[in-house]
Structure 1
Amino acid sequence: MQGDRYTRLISWLKVLFPLAALGLLSTLFLLSRAIDPGQAIPFAEKEVQDRLRDQQITGPFFTGATSEGDELSFYADVLTRPDGQTGMNHAENLRATINTPEGSTFRLQSDLADFDIAKDVADLLGKVILTTSTGYRLQSEKITSDLSGLNIQSPGAVHGTTPGGTLEAGAMSITQTDDQTAPQLVFTNRVKLIYKPKSKSE
């Protein structure tokens, strides 16, 4: 009895497998007819040349650590090497995070960013926003950051909110001290702090 079932199963499979293969082949032929080989490639000639020259990467993500133990990560919409310059990169819509061994977190976002590997520096440009795990949210038109360690500088004006109120300053710096304590956030050049105490409900 069991042998008869096995024989019938083999007979059915001999019929089903060729039918399944035929169905797959038919689907491939239908799909191939839907594609027009003569259709234009959806890239203009200039865009192709720009991609080849600038060596564009879409959606790059990088993560790593410095010798001091700071964990770095960044994401961008587009990363290019302008005019084929070695050691130079240009990013659009950058998002970066720095986590220090002491537990501090710094998040940076900017419209544009230029990386100079030889000089070990990144220039964040446009609307640059810095937020910290200690409650600061600051904005500047330009912020520079070392690539191999925690050294963030705003050579121009910054403004934003702090745990105690609103703040304006002509310059700002964030550096790591030698004794490995929490990074120091320093404001200089006509600093203006408007204190806003929290209500009891907060």
Structure 2
Amino acid sequence: MKGDRYTRTVSWLKVLFPLAALALLSTLFLLSRVIDPGEAIPFAEKEIQERLRDQQITAPFFTGSTAQGDELTFYADVLTTPEGKIGANKAENIRVTIKTAQGGTYRLQSGEAEIDLTSNSAQLTNDVVIMTSNGYRLTSDFMTSGLSSLDIESPGRVYGTAPEGTLEAGSMTLSQTENGGATQLFFTNRVKLIYKPKPLIE
């Protein structure tokens, strides 16, 4: 009985294995007919020319620390180096997080940024937003930022929310003291604060 069962099993496997191999081969042939080699290129012709002209990095990520011990994290969708410009970069949709040695957190985001390594600075444009861990969320058309120290400035109008209410000012600076002490946030030029008291909890 066992010998007969073994013989029948071997006979079935002799039939099933060739059928399985045939099925796999037919699948490969079907896939080869569907895929067009001319359409398998992931970049359009225009995009290829742009990548050849400018050095481009997709989704760059960088972490580091300043001389004062502040931690810096940088993200962007695209980072390019224009032809012939050494030390200059352009970034799109950047997000920067700065955690100071004193425990404060500052987040910056903007649609575009020009980074100049020679001047150790960055120019942020296109809906620049700064958020702080102590409750500020401010928007500006243009801000500058240092690369190796916490030094952010908006020479033009800023507006948004503050811990006490809504805030608007003609300019703003965020910096540290020379000895690496606590950060200081200054608003100047027609500062307007609309106080909104917090509701009392009964």
Shorter-chain TM range is 0.7 to 0.9
In structure 1, the partner of 2:50 is 50
In structure 1, the partner of 2:157 is 157
Compared with structure 1, are the counterparts of its residues 117 and 9 closer, same or farther at alpha carbon in structure 2 (3 Å cutoff)?
farther
TM-score (ref. length: structure 1) = 0.84
In structure 2, the partner of 1:72 is 72
What is the 5 A alignment of 1:99-110?
Answer: 99-110=99-110
SS at match of 1:69: coil
Percent of residue pairs identical: 66
RMSD: 2.9
Compared with structure 1, are the counterparts of its residues 168 and 31 closer, same or farther at alpha carbon in structure 2 (3 Å cutoff)?
same
SS at match of 1:156: coil
Residue by residue, what CA displacement relative to the aligned partner does 1:142-175 show, whole Å, maximum 9, x if unpaired? 1111111111111111111111122111111111
Asked if 2 retains the 8 angstrom alpha-carbon contact of 1:168 and 1:192, the reply is yes
SS at match of 1:30: helix
Q: What is the deviation of 1:67?
A: 2.1
Q: For the residues of structure 1 that align with 2:147 and 2:17, how far apart are their CA atoms?
A: 59
Q: Which amino acid aligns with 1:53?
A: R
In structure 1, the partner of 2:189 is 189
Q: Which amino acid aligns with 1:128?
A: V
In structure 2, the partner of 1:5 is none
Q: What is the deviation of 1:141?
A: 0.6
SS at match of 1:56: strand
SS at match of 1:49: helix
Asked if 2 retains the 8 angstrom alpha-carbon contact of 1:145 and 1:151, the reply is yes
Q: For the residues of structure 2 that align with 1:17 and 1:62, how far apart are their CA atoms?
A: 52
Asked if 2 retains the 8 angstrom alpha-carbon contact of 1:54 and 1:84, the reply is no
Q: For the residues of structure 2 that align with 1:107 and 1:38, how far apart are their CA atoms?
A: 44
Q: What is the deviation of 1:41?
A: 4.0
SS at match of 1:32: helix
Aligned pairs, number: 202
Q: For the residues of structure 2 that align with 1:139 and 1:159, how far apart are their CA atoms?
A: 5
Compared with structure 1, are the counterparts of its residues 86 and 9 closer, same or farther at alpha carbon in structure 2 (3 Å cutoff)?
farther
